[in-house]
Amino acid sequence: MAIRDKLSGNEAVAVAMRQINPDVVAAFPITPSTEVPQYFSSYVADGLVDTEFVAVESEHSAMSACIGAQAAGGRAMTATSSAGLALMWEMLYIAASSRLPMVMSLVTRALSGPINIHNDHSDAMGCRDSGWIQLFGENNQEAYDNFIMALRVGEHKDVQLPVLNCYDGFITSHSVENMELLEDNLVKDFVGEYKPQHYMLNSKQQIAVGPLDLPPHYFEHKRLQAEAMRNAKNVILEVSAEFEKMTGRKYGLFEEYRMEDAEIAMVILGSTAGTAKYVIDELREKGVKAGLIKIRVFRPFPAEELAAALSHCKAIAIMDKADGFNAKGGALFNEIRSAMYDGDARPAIVNYIYGLGGRDVRTNDLEKVYDALAEIVATGVVGDPYRYVGVIDANDVAVQAEAAAARE
């Protein structure tokens, strides 16, 4: 029977960790992920788990400790945000290339500079090609559910890759929502025991982890790593189907909201999807055929599936909560536009950068995006595909300055 509770996203993830009872958790505090190890350390202190909790001196050390623990044959976990993830950069690649299926909750937050502690996706986008699987949750329930499923995905024999459980800082991490938790025994049974095939404490088979890899072998190892990421797509679907049988909660590679007959659509990651659903319902009342795709699995990227789901649309807005700084749009935009290239359908596609540094995303901001898509459909004119919504541009600043001077 499901356990109904009211929890923040961070506490929900910490509860999932308690239910799983990992061998090692190594962590260093950074806002807004600090509560995850903080809650979990209280479970350790109260004897609710027998996890070895390692309080390290930096995020680099946290990932290093998790790598050592996982390589030794243990199940390791951690959590971080923003600059903490950036400080792990070198070790992220080592964890993935060493095929160590640890799980890390990434409570997404803007990267410096200037220093900002609020939410956007610049940290997650920065490490998108490091070899980690990336799952995104819209709300507290999804952060909890994704964390539990992440272990089964990463530890699968055909995958053996680390997994990022991404959810939005403060918006999801600190907001309290009604949730359904699983009973402890169900989580333990679903996750199962970690039984690595190769590990350093196996006295019967000596191995080296992280050795020098010269040209005769490096390329082949990277090819195997890439194949594991491809395998992860089917494994995610298999694990999600099993999770649905247990909970009734359905997860796929992405969620389609009112997309059956949608002519204009938005593609988005994370918590803003909830705001978009409200806007879509309002537009549908007015006869506007608007829809939404909320991506759950960003790595491996579901290119073919997304292209098929968007093929019947006339105009699409790709929403990026991180700027690409490449003068050609954000990461999600470029991935989806590339995915559409091989298909017969070529709908108009525009990119919107939004919500940087925690900027509020209001319903009227998203209404403007859908209005712009409707205008593209009506006129056939796309114009500049690289756009911003919710930002105060230079002209607005000048007008406000003149108004303030006039008042004085």
What was the pLDDT predicted at 306? 97
pLDDT-derived band at 396 (thresholds 50, 70, 90) equals low
pLDDT in tens, 246-264: 999 999 999 999 999 999 9
Q: Specify whether 207 is located in the same domain as 273.
A: no
State residue 400's pLDDT score.
60
User: Per-residue confidence at 139, pLDDT binned at 50, 70, 90?
Assistant: very high
d(CA 166, CA 81): 10
- Whether the pLDDT of residue 398 is over 70: the answer is no
- Across 291-308, average pLDDT: 98
Instruction: Return the residue matching tokens 């204009």.
Output: 264
On whether residue 220 sits in a domain, the answer given is yes
Q: State residue 343's pLDDT score.
A: 86
- Tell me: do 230 and 281 sit in the same domain: no
Residue 210 lies in a domain: yes
Mean pLDDT, the chain, as a whole number?
Answer: 96
Tens-digit pLDDT profile for residues 332-354: 999 999 999 988 889 999 999 99
Q: Tell me what the mean pLDDT of segment 320-339 comes to.
A: 97
The full 3-state SS of 145-172, as one line of letters, equals HHHHHHHHHHCCCCCCCCEEEEEECCCC
Distance of CA 133 to the CA centre of its chain: 9
Helix axes 9-20, 184-191, angle to 10 degrees: 70
In terms of residue numbers, what domain contains 139? 3-247
pLDDT by residue (tens digit) across 5-43?
999 999 999 999 999 999 999 999 999 999 999 999 999
The answer to whether the beta carbons of residues 352 and 387 sit under 8 Å apart is yes
Residue 383 within any structural domain of the chain: yes
Overall domain count for the chain:
2
- pTM, to two decimals: 0.95
**Same domain, residue pair 198 and 318:** no
| 50 and 128 housed in the same domain | yes
pLDDT, residue 231, reads 98
Q: 7 and 109: one domain?
A: yes
Domain final position from 230, 247, 264: 247
- With a cut of 90, say whether residue 399 has pLDDT above it: no
The answer to whether position 371 is within a domain reads yes
Pair (243, 355) in one structural domain: no
CA distance 13 to 141: 9
Same domain, 226 and 267: no
Per DSSP (E only), the strands in 29-115 are: 52-55, 76-80, 103-108
Distance CA 31, CA 80 (A): 8
Q: What angle do CA 165, 331, 130 make, to 5 degrees?
A: 50
Question: Which of 247, 263, 296 is where one domain is finished?
Answer: 247
Asked if 90 and 119 touch (Cβ cutoff 8 Å), the reply is no
pLDDT at 407 over 80: no
Q: Is 320 helix (H, G, I), strand (E, B) or coil?
A: strand
CATH assignment at residue 352: 3.40.50.920
Same domain, 111 and 65: yes
pLDDT tens digit sequence for 352-378: 999 999 999 999 999 999 999 999 999
Whether pLDDT at 292 is above 80: yes
pLDDT tens figures, 157-182: 999 999 999 999 999 999 999 999 99
- The band of 402, judged by pLDDT with boundaries at 50, 70 and 90, is low
Query: In terms of domains, do 111 and 72 share one?
Result: yes
pLDDT for position 211:
87
If you search the block for the tokens 């196996």, which residue do you land on?
202
Q: Is residue 403 part of a domain?
A: no
Query: Looking at the domain assignment, is residue 405 inside a domain?
Result: no
Residue 170 domain-assigned?
yes
For residue 88, give the H/E element and its range.
Answer: none
Do both 180 and 231 map to the same domain?
A: yes
Same domain, 324 and 275: yes
- CATH code of the domain containing 24: 3.40.50.970
Closest C-alpha to 333, from 168, 118, 121: 121
| Per-residue pLDDT at 397 | 58
Domain membership of residue 227 (yes or no) is yes
Q: Which residue has the tokens 């559910």?
A: 145
170 and 31 housed in the same domain: yes
Give percent of the chain with pLDDT exceeding 90. 93
Residue 330 confidence (pLDDT) above 70 = yes
- Last residue within a domain, chosen from 224, 247, 270: 247
Give me the pLDDT at residue 393, please.
78
